Chains A and B, each alone.
Chain A
Amino acid sequence: SAVISQKPSRDICQRGTSLTIQCQVDSQVTMMFWYRQQPGQSLTLIATANQGSEATYESGFVIDKFPISRPNLTFSTLTVSNMSPEDSSIYLCSVSDGRRGQETQYFGPGTRLLVL
Chain B
Amino acid sequence: AQSVSQHNHHVILSEAASLELGCNYSYGGTVNLFWYVQYPGQHLQLLLKYFSGDPLVKGIKGFEAEFIKSKFSFNLRKPSVQWSDTAEYFCAVNPLDGNKLVFGAGTILRVKS
Contact = CB atoms under 8 A, between A and B. Distances in A.
Contacts of A107: 36, 43-45
A91 interface: no
A27 B1 CA distance: 34
A66 interface: no
Contact of B46 (A1, A101, A102, A110): A1
Interface stretch (A13-21, A40-48, A71-79, A81-89): A40-48
Max chain B C-beta neighbours (<10 A), residue from A96, A101, A109: A101
Contacts of A101: 32, 51, 96
A48 B90 CA distance: 20
B94 interface: yes
Given A42-B104, A45-B100, A102 B51 contact: yes
A49 B107 CA distance: 29
B49 interface: yes
Interface residues on B, range: 20 to 34
B32 A43 contact: no
Interface of B: 32, 34, 36, 43-46, 49, 51, 90, 94, 96, 99-106
27 contacts: A33-B101, A42-B90, A42-B103, A42-B104, A42-B106, A43-B44, A43-B90, A44-B103, A45-B100, A45-B102, A48-B99, A48-B100, A92-B43, A92-B44, A96-B99, A101-B51, A102-B32, A103-B94, A103-B99, A104-B34, A104-B49, A105-B34, A105-B101, A106-B46, A108-B43, A109-B43, A110-B43
Interface of A: 1, 31, 33, 41-45, 48, 58, 92, 96, 101-110
Given A45-B102, A106-B46, 16 more contacts: A33-B101, A42-B103, A42-B105, A42-B106, A43-B103, A44-B103, A48-B99, A92-B44, A96-B99, A103-B32, A103-B94, A104-B49, A105-B101, A107-B36, A107-B43, A110-B44
Nearest 9 CB-CB pairings of A with B: A109-B43, A107-B44, A42-B103, A43-B103, A42-B105, A102-B51, A103-B99, A42-B106, A45-B100
